[in-house]
Chains A and B, each alone.
Chain A
Amino acid sequence: MIGPSIVIKGSVTGDEDLLVEGTVEGTIELRSHEVSVGTSGTVNADIYAKVVKIDGEVSGDVSGGEKVVISKSGNVRGNIIAPRVTLEDGAIFKGSIDMDPGDAAPKKAPISAAKPANTLAADDMAPGFDLKSG
């Protein structure tokens, strides 16, 4: 978890789920995991993850290998790429949504489920978070 008082400028990578309650500027790349932006979280960064849940503010492109969920308190300005996107009532979104990220992407129907396009094997990721200043 990145706490409310933490500010990170740079690239965040790793091999576990992440909750952002603080501020991140740069890139968040956890392609095999879930990234949650909490209600107090502010992300000015592109996010790459398997699942992205947004309750706070995001300014940047969001790529979800499986799905992206913007909750009623979420505010997103950017483009979303994911096979499945859910916007809750009250969510604010400005940008475009691409629900065809690639031929391997699963569609709800009638195409059968397939491996998420942007998911890397766990071995490709280093354990813990790697914070590169930039």
Chain B
Amino acid sequence: MTTTQPSKLMASVIPEPLEESRITVLHIGNAQPETVDFFSNYRCRLHFVDLFAELPIHDRDDNLPSLAEQFDGLFSFPKSTQFDVCLFWDIFNYLDDDAMFALQVALRPYLGAKTRAHAFAVHNLRSPRNEKCYSVRSVDVLGEKPWEQPLPGYAPHNQAQLKELLTDFELIRNVLLSDGRLEMALGARVHAAARDTDKTRQRVIL
């Protein structure tokens, strides 16, 4: 059953719909009707990448694709793509340090100085496990429904750890929710982005 929760930060991540402007959105997770309906007010391109269906995502045996190759395969966007909005929801709670790094390296070519992102995390590791499938109903209200089964690989990072792991995003603002979750608004760091991608990707492969 879908319930709702207020959002204090989504309005700072998603711009107002303007007739002349077009936005490109990355939605991590399966396509939700409410999200599609919400963005139908925009001139936009919505990319859905269901990383939750790929969990657990971690380094595998030598004969299997590396983390970098896994993410490159999942993030096969047109070369000209530059995201205005990335909706990560709580995917960071399911990615270990290496996977966090590989995800950001794979996304790096598609980030720009104006890219904004939204995510949920936990304040500390004592925060209760709270796993939901999210959607956007409005910039003030999010839809959420429980997963049918617990997702594998749940291993959240506390606030300080997560800040360290966010190599390509900086925290703009966060809000501590009553259940111990953190709602986060992020901005992309464009640090010689595409130029460094090949080097860092080699590091991930190694």
Contact = CB atoms under 8 A, between A and B. Distances in A.
Interface string B29-48: 01111001101111111111
A35 B120 CA distance: 40
B48 A96 contact: yes
A57 to B, nearest CB: 15
A99 B48 contact: no
Interface residues of A, number: 21
Nearest to A101: B43
Contact of B45 (A93, A97, A110, A111): A97
Interface residues of B, number: 19
Interface of chain B: mostly helix, strand, loop or mixed:
mixed
A107 B50 CA distance: 27
A7 to B, nearest CB: 29
A contact patch SS: loop
Interface string A33-57: 0000000000000000000000000
Nearest to B81: A96
B62 interface: no
A87 B36 contact: yes
Contacts of B41: 107-109
B22 interface: yes
B19 interface: yes
Contacts of B46: 96-99
A108 B46 CA distance: 17
**In the A-B complex, the 4 residue pairs with the closest CB atoms:** A100-B43, A93-B31, A87-B33, A97-B46
